[in-house]
Structure 1
């Protein structure tokens, strides 16, 4: 009988050891990137053949970071990506959750057909619609502070609005909403609540996990956008971080500055992940149905 606790402890130790090894494998690129950002190019390239590449040893300085800011407006690129990504994520969660609510709870003619079409859009590569979408946004009107304008090129809106709604986010919300207790919706209707009240008072407070999941996926897609901003943005003042990466591959490539730039643009991703992780844990802890 004394063997079982020891056996259980051994299995637990092995499990955590394997998880730690897997975590280290995923951390190796980040460690290499951060350490390389402090090294001059000759040392960076020489260290790649040994474990010194993962250690902050040798000629360590901040010269690569100063060089990165001299080569490109790094702060502007990061700000543009944060603004575009943040606005797209917030609008996407709102629009897609409302659409999913109608698919999951409302009864209207052609609902299943429309949902099937929405899901089917997942198999369409963006490259096939990039040119038609470009032609469309280049002629669309927009009413702003300066009055009526034609064309959305070289703006924030052209990087945000086409990406607000997507089939994957709607599908995630639909699947989650269908798993919620139907008694809650029926109770709300019996109490005289409107569909809008049921949406924001009952359904959305219980949707923390799917909100966090959808936000993470949308954030990664938008923050890593390259092809679409490259097509629709020619002015430097609107370029995001991935397009800005091209500045470091013009003329002489300084790999230390490249690593410094990659480190700088990774910071918002880590901050967003840590913030959302806390919100995700809090939402799970607070989600429940009281009897």
Structure 2
């Protein structure tokens, strides 16, 4: 379905605009899960229309030094990907949350009413993703193997239904109806770089003195990141914790030491 007449740069421009808008919503206290849905839908649409900003695949193309797949010179692509890692260090994983089409389509799928599984503590998927990241680098740098293509990420967004790999990623998307973001949490190589940055982010969701210790935020969180002891950068800023919190002002998106 990718429309060749639309430059991939359009996807990156959308990504920058969407990122800025989402930061504003979080900083102003106006972010809600309902308001996130249009971003998720638009991001998914851009994935199908221009296959951008699909950050994990752009990172894959950079590792393979494939400027044609990137749609831009390698230095420009490297600068863009590094910039979003720096932005994660400041604002958290907003890119993963609602901007990247690979994450957005899984987030939308998780909205399907079905029994949910795998809300376990987040260290296991982090460890698995770290191992996959090593394999990803070895395959890309050493063997020039495109693992994400084998998993069907481009085939899915290109609607290449004649390809077996299309059904591999389609299966991952369908799985995300019951398991929260399996690709993002267990596979995504770009997420493996964003998570350490986000774990030290300047702005993040923090508990205030208004917290009553009910732990409803922890039960609502699908990654275990609402537990203050987690600290693994697995918060996708989905808004489930703030929606579940019964105490006004107990959970706010702010920087350390700031009085809200």
Q: Bin the TM-score by the shorter chain.
A: under 0.3
TM-score by length of 1: 0.25
Return the structure number with greater relative CO, CA threshold 8 A, min gap 6: 1
TM-score by length of 2: 0.27
